[in-house]
């Protein structure tokens, strides 16, 4: 015979309190309300493209010096060669899956499920192939799908908050949610959130750490100050500058990440109203 609800509560006096607490905690993690229209996503996607690649079509297919992966599309989505992995989250295969689901016809060599690894195993091989048929097909695909890539960027941020809250200490979750919501309530804050989560990730991956310190959206929200008299986007920009400076201090010396800090700083300064 199944126990009645009244019997369960009578047998376990603390059960109801536990259940309500669990429900509220789960709801805080699931309460994502941020949504972008297609028009807003496209506008912000073009701003991301400007930040990543100067808004230039030829930079939609790129491989930065000193990196072990290609950087593709308006968000410079990471694509690793076969057998190569690093600490940074790969995102180009997810973009290909998104394009397929959106009804985009992919070139045959990119249409496999799961998507193939990057066929060029070094920056030198990649740059030497820039006029090849595969590279031209890849560039044509990325030029033609800026709206879909923008929607992909927006969808990533729309899914980000529950993951961030789940990764954060429970006591911090209400403050982090309030800071996120304050940013999502303004146009400049929405731009800051969308750009940064593409730029440096959610901050939830244990591999995206130097000396135990992350640099993603979670860490910037944790570093934000809640002082009066400043805008949420301005406080976010201040926190991002501090988090990125810490990343450079903690990075392995061989990566020489200090060379990138001036450009990163200019990027997050653009978040201010």
pLDDT at 228 (0 to 100): 78
- DSSP letter (8 states) at residue 258: G
pLDDT digits (tens, 9 = 90+) for 244-267: 999 999 999 999 999 999 999 999
pLDDT class of 34 with cuts at 50, 70, 90? confident
pLDDT digits (tens, 9 = 90+) for 192-217: 999 999 999 999 999 999 999 999 99
- DSSP letter (8 states) at residue 225: -
pLDDT at 2 (0 to 100): 41
Determine phi and psi for 73, rounding to 5 degrees.
80, -175
28 or 272, greater pLDDT? 272
pLDDT digits (tens, 9 = 90+) for 67-77: 999 999 999 99
pLDDT digits (tens, 9 = 90+) for 105-128: 999 999 999 999 999 999 999 999
pLDDT at 17 (0 to 100): 34
Residues with Cβ within 8 Å of 230's Cβ and at least 6 positions away in sequence, in order, are none
What are the residue ranges spanned by the domains of the chain? 34-156, 159-273
pLDDT at 33 (0 to 100): 66
Which residue, chain included where needed, has tokens 């392995």?
252
Q: What's the whole-number mean pLDDT along residues 163-173?
A: 96
Tokens of 26: 């789960």
Residues 155-158: contacts with CB within 8 Å, 24+ apart?
155/98, 156/197, 156/198, 157/34, 157/36, 157/193, 157/194, 157/197, 157/198, 158/32, 158/34, 158/35, 158/36
- Residue among 69, 40, 51 nearest 260 (CA): 51
Tokens of 251: 């990075």
Q: DSSP per residue over 104-133, as a string?
A: ----GGG--SSPPPBS--SHHHHHHTTTSH
pLDDT at 11 (0 to 100): 38
pLDDT at 21 (0 to 100): 33
Q: DSSP per residue over 31-93, as a string?
A: -------HHHHHHHHHHHHHHHHTT-GGGGEE--TT-SSEEETTTTEEEPBTT---SSPP-HH
Q: How far is Cα 31 from Cα 186, in angstroms, rounded to an integer? A: 18
Q: What mean pLDDT is reported for the chain? A: 88
3-class secondary structure, 213: strand
Which residue, chain included where needed, has tokens 């990057």?
118
pLDDT digits (tens, 9 = 90+) for 3-18: 443 443 343 444 333 3
32 or 59, greater pLDDT? 59
Q: What's the whole-number mean pLDDT along residues 38-44?
A: 96
pLDDT class of 25 with cuts at 50, 70, 90? very low
**Could you tell me which residues are beta bridge partners of residue 78?**
71
Q: What's the whole-number mean pLDDT along residues 46-67?
A: 95
Determine phi and psi for 125, rounding to 5 degrees.
-65, -40
Q: How far is Cα 223 from Cα 115, in angstroms, rounded to an integer? A: 37
Radius of gyration of the chain (CA): 21
């Amino acid at each position: 015979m199944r126990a009645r609800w009244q019997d369960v509560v009578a047998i376990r006096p603390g059960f109801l309190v536990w259940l309500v607490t669990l429900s509220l905690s789960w709801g805080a993690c699931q309460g994502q309300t941020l949504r972008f229209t297609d028009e807003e996503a496209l506008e912000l996607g073009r701003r991301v493209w400007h930040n990543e690649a100067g808004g230039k079509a030829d930079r939609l297919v790129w491989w930065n010096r000193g990196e072990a992966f290609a950087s593709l599309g308006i968000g410079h989505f990471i694509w690793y060669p076969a057998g190569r992995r690093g600490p940074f989250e790969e995102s180009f295969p997810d973009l290909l899956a998104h394009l397929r689901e959106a009804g985009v016809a992919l070139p045959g060599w990119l249409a496999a499920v799961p998507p193939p690894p990057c066929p060029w195993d070094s920056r030198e091989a990649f740059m030497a192939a820039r006029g090849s048929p595969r590279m031209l097909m890849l560039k044509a695909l990325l030029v033609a799908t800026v709206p879909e890539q923008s929607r992909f960027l927006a969808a990533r941020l729309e899914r980000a908050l529950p993951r961030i809250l789940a990764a954060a200490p429970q006591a911090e979750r209400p403050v982090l949610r309030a800071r996120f919501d304050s940013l999502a309530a303004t146009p400049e804050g929405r731009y800051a959130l969308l750009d940064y989560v593409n730029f440096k990730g959610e901050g939830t991956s244990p591999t995206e750490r130097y000396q135990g310190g992350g640099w993603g959206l979670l860490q910037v929200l944790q570093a934000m100050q809640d002082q009066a008299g400043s805008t949420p986007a301005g406080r976010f920009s201040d926190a991002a500058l501090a988090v990125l400076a810490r990343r450079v201090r903690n990075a392995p010396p061989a990566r020489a990440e200090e060379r990138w800090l001036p450009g990163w700083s200019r990027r997050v300064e653009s978040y201010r109203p």
